[in-house]
């Protein structure tokens, strides 16, 4: 199995390790990775909010703009997550139950990964794990670290993610407005915006999916290594999870369009 499949599989294992650990590990990864891990408890949205309420935004206008920008992002995310219009299947390991799709959409690439797990009783744990900042995972990335940079409410934050494409590769990062939406299903949506993080790059970063970027503009007090340009900046046009519960299983769909990073 090549490194590409191993990285994608390990990402989905981290989402579903306690759902189908022995079967999934045997099916998708080498034997050296089949050891059963102990279960972890992942914080709820409210618990994460309480741990980070010192980062609470007190500007009511900024909150309104963040909610407005995220509302538009959610509609775009739903379209790319729920419909197969334009997607082409990508070659996969025939023994895998993970499916990969890619499409070109208005001059940019949108990627989709789908996985079904047969443990509907673990639905809430899957949701809490996906909305988790201490044990973050991301497709086709290593050494993923997340932190909350600003809080608007328990389900709406600005987050920073750092990661590497390869073990010895240059560290990358992005800032994104992130939201957890509970309707008939659960959505975890991330989208970059006009966020001034003081990176020295002269490149103009624009969201290629969300056109009305003037709605949400903020300034972030980033770390010195970002201000000095030591990290490569990436930009999330749209990304996130669609998690749907059925009687016999849970469907997990990951969608991403990121300038500077391929998830598959």
Q: What is the pLDDT of residues 244-263, one digit of tens each?
A: 999 999 999 999 999 989 99
**Could you report how far apart the first and last alpha carbons of the chain are, in Å?**
15
User: Is 161 contained in some domain?
Assistant: yes
Task: Give the range among 75-79, 208-212, 228-232, 236-240 with minimum mean pLDDT.
Answer: 208-212
51: its two tokens: 């741990």
Quote the DSSP letter at residue 53: G
Pairing verdict, β 186-191 and 194-196: unpaired
User: Is 241 contained in some domain?
Assistant: yes
Residue 223: give the domain boundaries: 58-84+120-248
User: Is 94 contained in some domain?
Assistant: no
Average pLDDT over residues 160-173: 92
Among candidate residues 74, 105, 31, the one with its CA nearest the CA of residue 66: 74
11: its two tokens: 């990402």
Contact between 144 and 163 under an 8 Å Cβ cutoff? The reply is yes
Average pLDDT over residues 138-161: 94
User: Is 150 contained in some domain?
Assistant: yes
User: Is 134 contained in some domain?
Assistant: yes
Q: Residue 126 and residue 185: Cα distance in Å, rounded?
A: 12
- Radius of gyration (C-alpha) of the chain in whole angstroms: 18
User: Is 184 contained in some domain?
Assistant: yes
186 vs 14, residue with greater confidence: 186
Alpha helices in 118-264 (DSSP H): 123-130, 224-227
User: Is 141 contained in some domain?
Assistant: yes
Task: Give whole-number Cα distances, 246 to 117, 118, 120, 140, 250, in Å.
Answer: 10, 9, 7, 28, 6
User: Is 27 contained in some domain?
Assistant: no
Q: Output 162-166 pairs: Cβ under 8 A, ≥24 positions apart.
A: 162/231, 163/138, 165/140, 165/141, 165/261, 166/142
For residue 141, the model assigns a pLDDT of 86
Q: Is the pLDDT of residue 15 over 80?
A: no
Q: Is the pLDDT of residue 35 over 70?
A: no
For residue 93, the model assigns a pLDDT of 77
Domain count, the chain: 1
Cα dihedral value 140, 34, 27, 264, nearest 10: 0
Q: How many residues does the chain have?
A: 264
Q: Residue 75 and residue 194: Cα distance in Å, rounded?
A: 19
For residue 212, the model assigns a pLDDT of 82
């Amino acid at each position: 199995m090549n490194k590409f499949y191993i990285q994608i599989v390990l990402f989905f294992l981290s989402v579903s390790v306690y759902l189908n650990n022995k079967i999934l590990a045997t099916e998708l990864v080498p034997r050296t990775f089949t050891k059963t891990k102990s279960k972890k408890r992942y914080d709820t949205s409210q618990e994460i909010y309480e741990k980070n309420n010192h980062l609470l935004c007190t500007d009511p206008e900024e909150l309104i703009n963040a909610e407005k920008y995220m509302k538009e992002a959610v509609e775009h995310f739903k379209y790319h997550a729920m419909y197969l219009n334009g997607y082409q299947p990508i070659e996969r390991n025939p023994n895998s139950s993970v499916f990969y799709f890619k499409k070109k959409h208005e001059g940019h690439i949108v990627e989709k990964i789908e996985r079904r797990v047969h443990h509907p009783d673990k639905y809430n744990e899957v949701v809490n794990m996906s909305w988790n900042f201490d044990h973050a995972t991301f497709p086709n990335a290593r050494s993923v670290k997340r932190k909350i940079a600003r809080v608007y409410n328990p389900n709406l934050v600005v987050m920073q993610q750092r990661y590497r494409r390869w073990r010895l590769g240059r560290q990358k990062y992005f800032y994104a407005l992130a939201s957890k939406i509970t309707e008939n299903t659960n959505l975890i949506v991330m989208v970059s915006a006009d966020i001034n993080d003081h990176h020295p790059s002269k490149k103009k970063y624009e969201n290629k999916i969300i056109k009305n970027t003037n709605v949400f503009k903020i300034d972030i007090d980033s770390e010195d290594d970002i201000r000095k340009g030591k990290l490569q900046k990436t930009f999330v046009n749209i990304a996130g999870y669609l998690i749907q519960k059925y009687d016999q299983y849970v469907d997990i769909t990951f969608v991403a369009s990121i300038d500077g990073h391929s998830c598959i």
